[in-house]
Amino acid sequence: MTQDYYQYPRHLVAVDCIIFGFDGENLKILLVERNFEPKMGEWSLMGGFIGDNETSDEAAQRVLNTLTGLENIYLEQLNCYTEIHREPTARIMSISYYALINIEKNIQINEKYSAKWFDLQNFPTLIFDHNEMVKDAVLRLRRRASTRPIGFELLSEKFTMKDLQNLYEAIFNEQYDKRNFISKINALDILIKTEEKDMTSSKKGSYLYRFDEDKYKKKLAEGFMFKI
């Protein structure tokens, strides 16, 4: 006996991307203005349907690449939303992904889409269940950021301690003591202090650091746990 697949319904399945960025002070989210019905003109997450010859991960990368031109973006699958009437015109399941991108690298946003960075503390109401998706994504971002060194995806290759602290303060929406934060980071021992200084923020200048990915991986293999 072989199972007959023709008796089972088939579904439209999309991906929707929650794209996070960081401008040095605040967490940002990249939204697009819909240029088709339904809900044309309203703000939404960037999304697209999953094709026959791509996985959902690939679909999400494709969607992001179409919008930003970037490749190999940090991307993680979140949830699958399957409410029957989550979209009014058809039953569409959607797998949400969150992406972390460095705003500075992201020079050219495809003009075909009216996309805009919004402050995560203050962005418009989105279509369908996209607000729920964003809420879930923020929670996941916080969880991940506390146990994995994903914050560096949001920064440039070189950054100051102040940048890093600002980033974590934005992610967790909390203020930290400078001395405690720095000694915590130094205790992790996964940064390289360069000889260079960032002179834009002060007269003294502040040292630039890089994330030492090789060292991190080595320590991981030895049982090290990132924790912040």
Partner DNA sequence: GCAAAAGTGTTACCCGTACACCCATGC
Partner DNA sequence: GCATGGGTGTACGGGTAACACTTTTGC
Which residues contribute to the site for its own copies (CB under 8 A)?
1-3, 5, 8-13, 35-38, 40, 49-57, 77, 79-80, 82-84, 89-93, 95
Judged by CB, which is closer to DNA: 135, or 142?
A: 142
94 binds DNA (CB under 7 A): no
Q: Rounded distance, CA 104 to CA 23, Å?
A: 8
Q: How far is the CB of 189 from its own copies (least distance, A)?
A: 25
Dihedral over alpha carbons 176, 181, 182, 188 (to 10 degrees) = -160
Judged by CB, which is closer to DNA: 209, or 216?
A: 209
Judged by CB, which is closer to DNA: 96, or 160?
A: 160
Q: Rounded distance, CA 90 to CA 86, Å?
A: 9
Closest CA to 80 of 140, 11, 8, 15: 15
158 binds DNA (CB under 7 A): no
Piece in contact with DNA (CB under 7 A), picked from 33-41, 95-103, 134-142, 181-189: 181-189
Q: What is the full DSSP assignment across 127-160?
A: STTHHHHHHHHHHHHHHHHHHS--GGGGS-SEE-
162 binds DNA (CB under 7 A): yes
Tokens matching residue 3: 């199972």
Residues that bind DNA (CB under 7 A): 160-162, 177-180, 182-184, 197, 201-207, 227
